[in-house]
């Protein structure tokens, strides 16, 4: 959001003037000295906070102790003001790196020595790889490029990524930014990417500081007259605990993330950025965040001016800081915090506590160590390197999902299919492939360019843009299909259909796209491959059921090398191995489910959400994806049929006989409750391939209210297996971690009874009983 927009939000003449001045300060920061505490600076070299050989907390307290109240307050916002008398330059906290360094936020700029950065596939595509090592490696590369740009003076070190919200509703415009609908996958993605961004954490240091957003229960932007600024998400403790908060907890526990961002919406009537229970008690108290909490941009202004949560702006400033907010993306706290202190709504110590968290992160980043540290040598030569760009291609390869392949029409043969018609509004796009929150890509390979590397192509767009408002180009497209040996239709969505602030109203292809596919498929004299670009799912039942459409491929938004990856899959240079990270619903599903209902579980006529709770018909299920080879699962050893869980004591408080369950917090999880499973995966086809082993657990039908979970993913592992070979995958089933369900009070319990493990076509039943 621009400075002008921020001023308009507050809507007060005096405040507008102050905001304008703040923006002038920010605009001048491009001239600031890059490194604080430079040893060559005689002004600062004797100051204690610049001494790298003393503990960080001591340095932080020394710096805060030197600041006036007014100086402190100007550090509470994203465009933090300089403190020239202490040799501290201004700093822009807001940078983005969702799938590559981005210039969406004001903290990073492209140009000069840094014309672009590696643009990886959008997150929903990368999530489809189900490959945790890939996710971490992408984070490592992105942070290399971010550090290089920081050293060059054109970027910061605090990146407000990743987005780890659950893809609850298929219409959400920001589905593309997320790792999908499953809490375990979202949590593992979050932790992996954060670790890649932040480095190994040695000595509590940070390479860059990541931020998991948007906390919490945020997944509606603008639907049916309801927008994110006014939405009150009514969420049960059960759904918070086992769905919405899971990825954020993983960010902190497993990723040791340096920041959490609170969201625009309210949760149960309270703005998240003013909710002490969500921020101070949960993130910082229960989860022990080692970092800072930041608002989504202008969230504090939003809950004052649009949600009318407080009577005065000073009360809004006080409510957010006392709830645990440390940094405001926007000018609100810079304008109103001093008044809140003067009115006794806040103390200066409250401000100090917020600064402890932000300045500590800056210290851990080395921002007060001069131009020193292990990343000081990174520069322009470390951005858009051949290795980085190859990883972008590999990520696209791994994320592409084959949804249909009748009669093994794929892969095409460049000898038999010498001429290919490439048709569709997304057939020769560039920026569409990188989705939103993207930067400037190093280079692009469009689908048309990628296919043209293999064969002669006949190109027709068919439609003018994905809106496909007319059929004027259909005739030329049909003619190309008649002349070609095979036809590739590249259809789908783009940011004009699904984006931040833009939720979809339905799940069908826009405009006349379906008609174009049907007519071209009928005209084609060879196999017809439908390639879909989108973040959210699309109801393509018509193509799935049309025998003239012989193959369907979903590519998400595949990044700068997307066209090359698509062509490699189509011509068999790469064997597809992606799996859908979300359910593809039928169009009539959305007619039954308002986006404003947050409940995950089915109830009455309400069908529930995601594969865990919805039991109705789907176009393609979560975890679905085909290969050019075949895989067979077997258990490499006999498994026990019983698993014992030992409670600390056997009494009514520990063992609940009415629900036949034990609270996880009361179970002795170190004894008797773990079981290793060895799954042998055989590649029984003729092509090498990668395969994702998905392990689901289905709980017993029990008396715990709201237990009706179909099944839930408890583990996944990506393996590469050569044709005719076998690989053994070990999964350790832990009753406390994997077999628990959450009751209506938000407490995790282990149901006693028969649990069923699903591994591909395999099923294994385990009787879980208390150890008496």
d(CA 702, CA 621): 25
Of the candidates 458, 472, 485, 587, the residue with the CA atom closest to the CA atom of residue 519:
472
Maximal C-alpha separation, the chain: 80
3-state SS, one letter per residue, for 113-130:
CECCCCCCCCHHHHHCCC
Alpha helix segments (H runs only) across 371-473:
386-399, 447-452
Opening angle at CA 322, ends 317 and 324, nearest 5: 105
674-683 and 91-92 as β-strands: parallel, antiparallel, unpaired? Answer: unpaired
Of the candidates 175, 79, 92, the residue with the CA atom closest to the CA atom of residue 499:
175
Q: What share of the chain is helix, strand, coil (3-state, %, to 5)?
A: 35, 20, 45
d(CA 733, CA 702): 20
Query: Beta strands of 321-447 (E only): which ranges?
Result: 401-405, 419-423
Burial of residue 407 (CB within 10 Å: 0-12, 13-18, 19+) is exposed
3-state SS, one letter per residue, for 188-217:
HHHHHHHHHHHCCCHHHCCCCECCEEEECC
CB 477 within 8 A of CB 439: no
551-556 and 212-215 as β-strands: parallel, antiparallel, unpaired? Answer: unpaired
Strand, helix or coil at 4? helix
CB 165 within 8 A of CB 174: yes
Strand, helix or coil at 732? strand
Which one from 144, 296, 328, 485 is the annotated catalytic residue?
296
Of the candidates 79, 72, 162, the residue with the CA atom closest to the CA atom of residue 329:
79
d(CA 540, CA 726): 35
Of the candidates 465, 546, 443, 459, the residue with the CA atom closest to the CA atom of residue 512:
465
Strand, helix or coil at 170? coil
φ, ψ of residue 71 to 5 degrees: the values are: -65, -40
The tally of CA atoms less than 13 A away on the side-chain side of residue 400 is: 33
Q: Tell me, yes or no, if 275 is annotated catalytic.
A: no
d(CA 462, CA 491): 10
- For 222, 264, 269, 296, 447, the CA distances from 230, given in Å and listed in that order, are 10, 8, 10, 14, 40
φ, ψ of residue 329 to 5 degrees: the values are: -80, 100
Crossing angle of helices 513-523 and 474-483, rounded to 10°: 30
Of the candidates 629, 604, 633, the residue with the CA atom closest to the CA atom of residue 724:
629
528-533 and 551-556 as β-strands: parallel, antiparallel, unpaired? Answer: parallel
3-state SS, one letter per residue, for 597-641:
CCCCCCECCECCCHHHHCCCCEEECCCCCECCCCEEEEECCCCCC
Q: How many CB atoms lie within 10 A of CB 153?
A: 16
d(CA 143, CA 378): 10
**Catalytic residue numbers?**
296
């Amino acid at each position: 959001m621009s400075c002008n927009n921020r001023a308009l939000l507050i809507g007060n003449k005096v405040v507008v003037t102050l905001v304008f001045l703040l923006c002038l300060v920010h605009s001048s920061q491009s001239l600031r000295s890059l490194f604080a505490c430079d040893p060559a600076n005689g002004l600062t070299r004797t100051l204690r906070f610049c001494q790298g050989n003393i503990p960080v907390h001591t340095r932080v307290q020394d710096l805060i102790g030197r600041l006036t109240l007014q100086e402190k307050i100007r550090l509470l916002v994203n465009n933090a003001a300089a403190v020239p008398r202490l040799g501290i330059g201004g700093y822009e906290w807001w940078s983005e790196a969702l799938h590559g360094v981005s210039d969406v936020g004001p903290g990073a700029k492209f140009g000069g020595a840094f014309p672009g950065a590696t643009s990886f596939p959008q997150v929903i595509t990368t999530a489809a790889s189900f490959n945790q090592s890939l996710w971490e490696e992408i984070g490592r590369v992105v942070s290399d490029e971010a550090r290089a740009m920081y050293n060059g003076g054109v970027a910061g070190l605090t990146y407000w990524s990743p987005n780890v919200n659950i893809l609850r509703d298929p219409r959400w415009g920001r589905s593309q930014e997320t790792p999908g609908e499953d809490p375990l996958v979202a949590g593992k993605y979050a932790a992996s990417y954060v670790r890649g961004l932040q480095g190994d954490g040695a000595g509590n240091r940070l390479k860059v500081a990541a931020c998991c957003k948007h906390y919490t229960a945020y997944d509606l932007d603008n639907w049916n007259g309801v927008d994110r600024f006014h939405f009150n998400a009514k969420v049960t403790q059960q759904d918070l605990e086992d769905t919405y908060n899971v990825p954020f907890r993983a960010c902190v526990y497993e990723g040791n993330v340096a920041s959490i961002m609170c969201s625009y919406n309210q949760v149960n009537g309270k703005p998240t950025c003013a909710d002490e229970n969500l921020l101070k008690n949960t993130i910082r108290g229960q989860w022990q965040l080692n970092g800072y909490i930041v608002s989504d941009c202008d969230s504090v202004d939003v809950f004052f001016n649009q949600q009318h949560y407080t009577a005065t702006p000073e009360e809004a400033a006080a409510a957010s800081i006392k709830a645990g907010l440390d940094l405001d993306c926007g000018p609100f706290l810079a304008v109103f915090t001093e008044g809140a202190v003067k009115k006794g709504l806040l103390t200066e110590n409250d401000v100090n506590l917020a600064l402890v968290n932000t300045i500590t992160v800056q210290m851990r980043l080395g921002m007060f160590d001069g131009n020193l540290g292990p990343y000081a040598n990174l520069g322009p030569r470390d951005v858009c390197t051949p290795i980085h760009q190859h990883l972008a291609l590999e990520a696209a390869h791994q994320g592409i999902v084959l949804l249909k392949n009748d009669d093994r029409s794929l892969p095409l043969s460049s000898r038999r299919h010498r001429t290919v018609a490439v048709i569709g509004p997304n057939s020769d796009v560039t920026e569409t492939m990188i989705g939103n929150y993207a930067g400037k890509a190093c280079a692009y390979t469009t689908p048309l360019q990628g296919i043209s590397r293999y064969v002669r192509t006949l190109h027709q767009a068919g439609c003018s843009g994905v809106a496909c408002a007319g059929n004027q180009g259909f005739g030329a497209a049909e003619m190309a299909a008649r002349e070609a040996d095979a036809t590739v239709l590249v259809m789908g969505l783009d940011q004009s259909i699904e984006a931040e602030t833009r939720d979809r109203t339905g799940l069908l292809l826009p405009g006349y796209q379906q008609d174009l596919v049907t007519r071209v498929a009928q005209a084609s004299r060879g196999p017809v491959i439908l390639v879909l670009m989108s973040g959210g799912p699309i109801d393509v039942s018509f193509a799935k059921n049309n025998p003239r459409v012989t193959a369907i491929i979903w590519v998400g938004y595949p990044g700068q090398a997307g066209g090359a990856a698509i062509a490699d899959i189509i011509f068999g240079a790469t064997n597809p191995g992606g799996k859908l990270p979300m359910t593809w619903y039928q169009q009539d599903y959305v007619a039954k489910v308002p986006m404003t209902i947050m409940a995950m579980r089915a109830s009455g006529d309400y069908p529930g959400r995601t594969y865990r709770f919805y039991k109705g018909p789907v176009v393609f299920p979560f975890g679905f994806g085909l290969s050019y080879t075949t895989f067979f699962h077997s258990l490499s050893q006999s498994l026990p049929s019983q698993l014992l869980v030992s409670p600390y004591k056997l009494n009514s408080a520990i063992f609940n006989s009415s629900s036949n369950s034990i609270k996880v917090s009361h179970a002795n999880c170190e004894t008797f409750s773990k079981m290793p499973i060895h799954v042998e995966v055989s590649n029984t086809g003729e092509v090498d391939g990668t395969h994702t082993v998905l392990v689901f657990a289905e709980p017993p039908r029990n008396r715990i209210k709201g237990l009706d979970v179909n099944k839930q993913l408890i583990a996944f592992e990506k393996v590469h297996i050569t044709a005719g070979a076998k690989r053994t995958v070990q999964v350790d089933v832990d009753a406390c971690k994997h077999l628990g369900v959450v009751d209506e009070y938000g407490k995790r319990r282990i149901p006693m009874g028969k649990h069923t493990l699903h591994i591909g076509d395999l099923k294994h039943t385990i009787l879980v009983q208390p150890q008496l």
